[in-house]
Amino acid sequence: AQKITQTQPGMFVQEKEAVTLDCTYDTSDPSYGLFWYKQPSSGEMIFLIYQGSYDQQNATEGRYSLNFQKARKSANLVISASQLGDSAMYFCAMREGAGNQFYFGTGTSLTVIP
Amino acid sequence: EAQVTQNPRYLITVTGKKLTVTCSQNMNHEYMSWYRQDPGLGLRQIYYSMNVEVTDKGDVPEGYKVSRKEKRNFPLILESPSPNQTSLYFCASSLHRTGGGSPLHFGNGTRLTVT
């Protein structure tokens, strides 16, 4: 079974609008961390936001927030007030507390339309 | 500046010619790993290391070797490259060897083409 599933290969959003990128995960470890990364067309991987499984509140970092629904095993990334520079590939990832590997989804390509 | 440095950025080689992609981090991180990125497949882990002289296979280790003789360096070795190893490769490091909290810090990637 896939550890991380991103079901949206491509998304479009109007500039200044909010957008939600979906991520579901699969683990039986009660302790885990969830991460989102951005990969612009230049290719580098940029860390955006982290959510721990025991965190009581949803993580936020500037315009990025993580909609963490533990019972549904989902960790959706919300980008508010989209900007043209947000056009990129976005990857969801997980690391289990007792584990040694990071698992990545297949990514969502976001295009912001002016 | 805290960073992960991998070289080269671009590499074109021929089938069977041994090559090494270097990776170095200056953050005193315990955990280092290699990934390959292919369209539609996301990032897949090749090998990882939790400490000096401790390495283990990820999900796609076939055709690759690694070593961790020093904490800062984690080279990826392709003894006999084949065209199916044409890919974008990333080295990454994380502060802690285990646990969920530390994010990966990535190098800028190496685009490898094997003809």
DSSP string computed for A18-67: -EEE--EE----S-EEEEEEEE-TT---EEEEEEETT-SS--EETTEEEE
Judged by CB atoms closer than 8 Å, whether chains meet at A105 and B42 is answered as yes
Q: What is the pLDDT of residue B19?
A: 97
Pick the residue with more confidence: B101 or B73?
B73
Q: What is the pLDDT of residue B98?
A: 64
pLDDT of A99 > 80? The answer is no
- Contact list in A for residue B57 (CB cut-off 8 A) is none
3-state secondary structure of B18: coil
Q: Which of residues 76-95 of A touch B (CB under 8 A)?
A: 91, 93, 95
Judged by CB atoms closer than 8 Å, whether chains meet at B108 and A33 is answered as no
Average pLDDT value over all residues in chain A: 94
Q: Which pLDDT band, with edges at 50, 70 and 90, does A2 fall under?
A: confident
CB-based burial, B22-33: b 16+ in 10 Å, e otherwise: ebbbeeebbbbb
Q: What does the alpha-carbon distance between residue B102 and residue B55 come to, in Å, rounded to a whole number?
A: 19
- Contact list in B for residue A36 (CB cut-off 8 A) is none
Would you give the distance in Å from CA B7 to the centre of its chain? 11
Would you give the distance in Å from CA B30 to the centre of its chain? 14
Judged by CB atoms closer than 8 Å, whether chains meet at B101 and A91 is answered as no
Q: Which amino acid is present at A90?
A: Y
